[in-house]
C-alpha cells in the first residue's frame, strides 16, 4: 500500500483512505449496531490523561461495566496500530498510558497514519462514533471555553464536534478549569441543548451546586431520550445531558492555584488539562480523583440508560 495521502492521477488517494481499512469495529460493537441495540461510546483521553496510571485503565474498564450493567454495549474509542478503533479489549485499553497522544478531531488522521496510540477526547470520540451512527456518549466533563480566552482563544474542539454530530453526551458539566459561563454561552450559540438531569443549574464538575442556570431540565432518562429524538428529527446535532456528580467537592481555590502554577511553568494548549488535574489530585490528597471516578461511572451509566430508552422508542 502506498503511504496514505499520496495521490496519483487516477485515484486521488481514494484507495488508501478506504473507510473499512481505516476504521475497525469490534465484533461486539458491530453486532450491536446491526441489531440496533443500545451502544454507548466512551473516550480514552480520560483513561490516558485524566487519571494517574493505573487508575485510568481501571476507570475505563469500570465505565464499560457500568454501561453493560445498564443494558447497553460499550464502544470505547481510540487510535491503535494504524486504525481508528471502536470497541477495545482489556489488553488494548491498557495501552492507553500517559505516552498516548491526546487525539481531538484534528489528530485522528495523523495518529492513524503514523501508527501512534491516539487517546480520543470527547471531540475525537464524537467524530468517530458519529461515523457509525452511535448516538450516545458518557464522559466526565466536556471541554469548553478556557479562562482568559480574550487573550488566547483556547476553545475546545469538543464544542464544534458537538455542534455537528447527532450524539447525546452525558457529562457532569464542563471541565472544572474552564470559564463555565462563557462555555454555556457558546453552547447556546452553537445550538447545543444542555439538559439538566434532575437539576436546574449546570453542575461544576466536582461540585453539583453554584453553576449557571439551565434552560431545560429533565426528570428521567426516558424524557432525555425523547428530547434527543425530537432534536435529531428537527435536524439538530449534539446535546449535553448534565448530570450532577454523585458526591460534591468544592475545589474552586485549588483550581485557581493549579491554573496559576500551569501558567508559571509555561504549560499551555492541550497540556493544561492533564497538568491541572494532576495538581488537583495531588493537592486534595486524592479526593478529586475519587469524585472524578464516581462521576465518570455515573455518566457512563446514565448515557446507557438514555440509549436503552431511545432504543425502546
Ligand atoms: N474533563 C476532565 N478530564 C479530562 C477531560 C475532560 O475532567 O481528561 C478531557 C476530555 O477528553 C475532553 C478533553 O474531551 O479533556 C478536552 O480537552 P481540550 O480542552 O484540550 O479540548
Ligand atoms: Mn484547547
Ligand 2 center from residue 9 Cα (angstroms): 38
Is pLDDT above 50 for 293? yes
Please indicate, yes or no, if residue 73 is contained in any of the structural domains: yes
Could you tell me if the CB of 107 is within 6 A of ligand 1?
no
Q: What share of the chain is helix, strand, coil (3-state, %, to 5)?
A: 45, 15, 35
Considering only CA atoms, which residue is closest to atom 11 of ligand 1?
121
Which pairs with CB-CB distance under 8 Å and at least 24 residues apart come from 149-154? 149/179, 149/182, 152/268, 154/269, 154/272
Least confident of 8-22, 167-181, 262-276, 298-312: 8-22
Which ligand 1 atom sits closest to the C-alpha of 124? 14
In the chain the beta strands, taken as DSSP E runs, fall at 23-25, 39-42, 73-80, 83-86, 101-103, 118-120, 136-138, 168-171, 194-197, 216-218, 239-242
Is pLDDT above 80 for 11? no
100: containing domain: 16-311
Could you tell me if the CB of 45 is within 6 A of ligand 1?
yes
pLDDT band at 3 (very low <50, low <70, confident <90, very high): very low
User: What CA–CA distance (Å, rounded) separates 149 from 158?
Assistant: 16
* Mean pLDDT (whole number) for 4-27: 66
pLDDT in tens, 229-276: 999 999 999 999 999 999 999 999 999 999 999 999 999 887 888 899
User: What CA–CA distance (Å, rounded) separates 120 from 149?
Assistant: 23
Which ligand 1 atom sits closest to the C-alpha of 269? 20
* Mean pLDDT (whole number) for 274-288: 92
Is pLDDT above 50 for 161? yes
Is pLDDT above 70 for 16? no
Hey, is 66 helix, strand or coil? helix
Please indicate, yes or no, if residue 111 is contained in any of the structural domains: yes
Is pLDDT above 70 for 165? yes
Ligand 1 center from residue 110 Cα (angstroms): 19
pLDDT band at 33 (very low <50, low <70, confident <90, very high): very high
Give the pLDDT confidence score for residue 13 in this predicted structure.
52
Please indicate, yes or no, if residue 273 is contained in any of the structural domains: yes
User: What CA–CA distance (Å, rounded) separates 6 from 246?
Assistant: 50
Is pLDDT above 90 for 152? no
Give the pLDDT confidence score for residue 34 in this predicted structure.
97
Number of structural domains (the chain) is 1
Could you tell me if the CB of 175 is within 6 A of ligand 1?
yes
pLDDT in tens, 120-130: 999 999 999 99
* Mean pLDDT (whole number) for 223-232: 98
The preferred substitution site among 45, 149, 203 for testing ligand 1, maximizing ligand atoms within 8 Å of CB, is 45
User: What CA–CA distance (Å, rounded) separates 278 from 275?
Assistant: 5
Give the pLDDT confidence score for residue 17 in this predicted structure.
62
Ligand nearest to the CA of 159: 1
* Mean pLDDT (whole number) for 172-193: 96
pLDDT in tens, 207-216: 999 999 999 9
User: What CA–CA distance (Å, rounded) separates 22 from 113?
Assistant: 9
- The CATH number for 221's domain is 3.40.1790.10
Please indicate, yes or no, if residue 109 is contained in any of the structural domains: yes
The preferred substitution site among 152, 162, 165, 175 for testing ligand 1, maximizing ligand atoms within 8 Å of CB, is 175
Mean pLDDT computed over every residue of the chain: 93
Least confident of 99-113, 134-148, 201-215, 269-283: 269-283
Ligand 2 center from residue 156 Cα (angstroms): 5
Amino acid at each position: 500500500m502506498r503511504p496514505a495521502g499520496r495521490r496519483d492521477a487516477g485515484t486521488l488517494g481514494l484507495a488508501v483512505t478506504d473507510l473499512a481499512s481505516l476504521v475497525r469495529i469490534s465484533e461486539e460493537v458491530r453486532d450491536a449496531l446491526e441489531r440496533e441495540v443500545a451502544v454507548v461510546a466512551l473516550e480514552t483521553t480520560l483513561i490516558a490523561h485524566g487519571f494517574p496510571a493505573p487508575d485510568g485503565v481501571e476507570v475505563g474498564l469500570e465505565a464499560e461495566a457500568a454501561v453493560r450493567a445498564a443494558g447497553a454495549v460499550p464502544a470505547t474509542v481510540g487510535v491503535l496500530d494504524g486504525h481508528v478503533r471502536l470497541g477495545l479489549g482489556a489488553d488494548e485499553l491498557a495501552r492507553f498510558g500517559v505516552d498516548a497522544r491526546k487525539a481531538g478531531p484534528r489528530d485522528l488522521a495523523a495518529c492513524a497514519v503514523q501508527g501512534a496510540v491516539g487517546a480520543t477526547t470527547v471531540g475525537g470520540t464524537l467524530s468517530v462514533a458519529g461515523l457509525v451512527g452511535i448516538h450516545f456518549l458518557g464522559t466526565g466533563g466536556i471541554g469548553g471555553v478556557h479562562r482568559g480566552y480574550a487573550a488566547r482563544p483556547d476553545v475546545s474542539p469538543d464544542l464544534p464536534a458537538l455542534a455537528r454530530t447527532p450524539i447525546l453526551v452525558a457529562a457532569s458539566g464542563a471541565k472544572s478549569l474552564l470559564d463555565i459561563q462563557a462555555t454555556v454561552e457558546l453552547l447556546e450559540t452553537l445550538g447545543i441543548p444542555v439538559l439538566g438531569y434532575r437539576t436546574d443549574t449546570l453542575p461544576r464538575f466536582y461540585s453539583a451546586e453554584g453553576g449557571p442556570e439551565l434552560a431545560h431540565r429533565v426528570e428521567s432518562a426516558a424524557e432525555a431520550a425523547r428530547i434527543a429524538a425530537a432534536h435529531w428529527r428537527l435536524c439538530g446535532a449534539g446535546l449535553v445531558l448534565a448530570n450532577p456528580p454523585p458526591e460534591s467537592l468544592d475545589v474552586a481555590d485549588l483550581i485557581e492555584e493549579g491554573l496559576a502554577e500551569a501558567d508559571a511553568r509555561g504549560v499551555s494548549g492541550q497540556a493544561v488539562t492533564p497538568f491541572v488535574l494532576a495538581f488537583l489530585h495531588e493537592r486534595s490528597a486524592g479526593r478529586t480523583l475519587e469524585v472524578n471516578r464516581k462521576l465518570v461511572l455515573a455518566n457512563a451509566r446514565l448515557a446507557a440508560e438514555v440509549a436503552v430508552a431511545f432504543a425502546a422508542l
